[in-house]
Chains A and B, each alone.
Chain A
């Protein structure tokens, strides 16, 4: 799986959009971009994933650059409950295990 690079920490004001960047310059053509988050003392939570098109669900939006070398996770109206560590992962979707490997992630602090 390709390596990702994320800033170690970010702050965001409550109610504002949180934009979390991720660099994955060595991504392969068949690798997807996944985002998970982990709130303190809880298990990781799936957020969203995409291949090359931008994606949106009830939790967030994922913007992937045209060259696929970077992406941005957008939480449109951050709340205090969105304070968590956010992990960007790139991986192939196949049936050979799909086990996850998290790097350092970005610690997002949403402040009132």
Chain B
């Protein structure tokens, strides 16, 4: 079946511009996560959506970052007034609420470069 998809795969933007990154989770998965990964670094948690509950935004690094999840499916991560330190790979993952709840399935990521 289809996995997690993300778009665009690469995004180059100028400092100060806003960007939107999209994630399509696996159909039926109620949990959705956004992470980012800087070059050669581990994962940095950003935000977590679970069903209709209020999202866990505890990982968002600043108020320039926000995310939405419409209809319990597609999610958009928005970065306003981008800065060079925002350059990273942004990864989306989803998981189900069935027996295999705690496995997260990742998308290929969006590589963001802020110039």
Interface residues of A (CB under 8 A from B): 32, 34, 42-46, 49, 87, 93, 95, 97-105
Q: B26-47 interface mask toward A, CB cutoff 8 Å, 1 = contact, 0 = none?
A: 0000010101000000110100
A69 vs B38: C-alpha distance when bound (angstroms): 30
B-side interface residues, number (CB < 8 Å): 23
Complex A-B, nearest 4 residue pairs according to Cβ-Cβ distance, in ascending order = A43-B106, A102-B42, A99-B45, A46-B103
Q: Is B56 an interface residue (CB 8 A)?
A: yes
Residues on the A chain within 8 Å of B4, using CB: 43
Min Cβ gap A62→B in Å is 14
Complex partner residue of A49 from B43, B103, B106, B108, CB under 8 angstroms: B103
Min Cβ gap A37→B in Å is 11
CB-based contact B91/A44 at 8 Å: yes
Given A99-B45, A101-B42, decide whether A49 and B102 contact each other with a Cβ distance below 8 A.
Answer: yes
A95 vs B103: C-alpha distance when bound (angstroms): 12
Given A43-B108, A43-B109, A44-B43, decide whether A99 and B102 contact each other with a Cβ distance below 8 A.
Answer: no
Residues on the A chain within 8 Å of B95, using CB: 98
CB-based contact B102/A43 at 8 Å: no
CB-based contact A98/B102 at 8 Å: yes
Complex partner residue of B105 from A32, A46, A98, A105, CB under 8 angstroms: A46
Complex partner residue of A100 from B101, B104, B108, CB under 8 angstroms: B104
Given A46-B104, A93-B101, A95-B50, decide whether A101 and B109 contact each other with a Cβ distance below 8 A.
Answer: no
A42 vs B101: C-alpha distance when bound (angstroms): 22
Interface set, chain B 45-72, CB cutoff 8 A to A: 45, 48, 50, 56, 59
Min Cβ gap B60→A in Å is 12
